[in-house]
Amino acid sequence: MKYHPTNLIIKTSLTDGNYQILNLRMENQTLLAQARKGGFFSYAAGVAYQILNHYQVGELEIDNYLTDLPVQKDFLPVQLFVC
């Protein structure tokens, strides 16, 4: 995890060795739209939206380089990390 000047970036490894990346502006409307859209990173975007609105936090880059928890439909172990 490290600071990013403008965005929320989440890079996560999948069990098949591939990666998925979420790269969004750390803005209320952008995060909320992603959360409402559903899909792979919706929960993480929703948590980031709540954190942005309730706490003094900046932008963030998370590299989940190793996933040893099972990936389920619409749920990602990195979402636990964001919480």
Is 75 among the domain residues? no
Is 31 among the domain residues? yes
- Does the structure show a pLDDT above 90 at 32? yes
Is 80 among the domain residues? no
Token pair belonging to 17: 């060795």
Helices (H), 1-83: 28-37, 42-54, 77-82
Residue-wise pLDDT for 35-75, tens only, equals: 999 887 888 888 889 888 888 777 777 776 666 655 555 55
Is 56 among the domain residues? yes
**This prediction's pTM:** 0.70
Domain extent at residue 63: 7-68
Counting the structural domains of the chain, the total is 1
